[in-house]
Amino acid sequence: MALVPVAAIGDNTIDMYTGADSHSFVGGNAVNVAVQLTRLGRPARYFGAVGADPAGQRIRQALAARGVDTVGLVVLPGHTSTSTIRVDADGVRHFEHEDFAVCDDYVPTAVALEEAAACGAAHLGLLPDAEPVRRYLAARGVLVSQDCGVSRPPGRLTHLDIAFCSQEAAGRPPRDLAAEAIAAGARLAVVTRGAEGSLAFDGRHWWQAAAAPADVVDTTGAGDSYAAAFLHARLGGADVDQAMTAAALHAALACAHPGGFPQEALRTA
């Protein structure tokens, strides 16, 4: 039986690593989730915007090379998003600067929304106004998830099946993050906690999972890998406990290489 495809909608970026060995990778929450889904064997389509520059072409090529359908990738006036990242001695990344560029101008067209709705499931990254997109997709019966760690501002989380939150990004108690996401309208909140594992809450029940052992090189994209594996498991019929365990294992694998997914690094200096 064919797997339900997932539409990944929103941000992309070129992650610019700083330090003694300066290099860059293709990244961004929606891009990383799309790629990780295809690595798990699930079809994915990407919807977002790049500039008419070499960075935008690099993102398109990286997606296509990994089997992600790029029919929803559009070119807008301006430049492609970039993020400056410093990785410390423990492999933990620190975002020094983010220029969202044309990603901040991207709004899915009616045609793009129709194509995304045909996927059956959708994951949203950074979007200027995500609520109308969630509302449309939910009305079409699409399972909708969103990375709430990159939402600016988060606002209400109506029409949202799964809210992915990050304790590291928020710097706040994970149970508070989960409770707030449920109060804002999400049906299930999943909070990643780095080496402390993850927890989930649906307003009545709490779940908790330990982190899987990892040889940490770089934690960039670990949360995105977790989200992709969680979605993949849930769409395959797994319960919350099973999905959290599968997601923890996949996130650990993402920590073993630099960048959000395995790829060639390009030197930037």
* Residue 1: pLDDT over 90: no
Band of pLDDT at residue 191, cut at 50, 70 and 90 = very high
pLDDT of 197-219, one tens digit each? 999 999 999 999 999 999 998 88
Architecture of domain 6-262: 3-Layer(aba) Sandwich (3.40)
Whether residue 152 is predicted with pLDDT greater than 50 in this model: the reply is no
Q: Token match 């929606």: residue?
A: 30
More confident residue, 95 or 180: 180
Q: How big is the chain, counted in residues?
A: 269
> What pLDDT, on a 0 to 100 scale, did the predictor assign at position 171?
78
Domain ranges of the chain: 6-262
What pLDDT was estimated at residue 124? 98
Q: Dump pLDDT digits (tens) for 215-229.
A: 998 889 999 999 999
In Å, how far from its chain's centre is CA 51?
A: 20
> CB–CB of 23/17 below 8 Å?
yes
Per-residue pLDDT averaged across 233-257, rounded?
97
Measured from the Cβ of residue 21, the count of other Cβ atoms closer than 10 Å reads: 11
pLDDT at 20 over 80: no
In sign, the C-alpha dihedral spanning 168, 171, 175, 179 is negative
Alpha helix (H) ranges present in the chain?
29-39, 54-65, 110-117, 131-139, 167-170, 174-183, 222-235, 240-254
pTM for the model: 0.95
Does residue 21 carry a pLDDT above 70? Answer: no
**What percentage of the chain's residues is helix, strand, coil (to nearest 5)?**
35, 25, 40
Mean pLDDT of 49-54: 98
Over residues 9-13, mean pLDDT: 97
Distance between CA atoms of 149 and 29, rounded to whole angstroms? Answer: 10
Q: What is the mean pLDDT of residues 96-113?
A: 95
Q: State residue 172's pLDDT score.
A: 86
The mean predicted confidence, pLDDT, of the chain is 93
pLDDT of amino acid 151: 46
Q: What is the pLDDT of residues 55-71, one digit of tens each?
A: 999 999 999 999 999 99
Specify whether the CB–CB gap between 110 and 120 falls below 8 A.
no
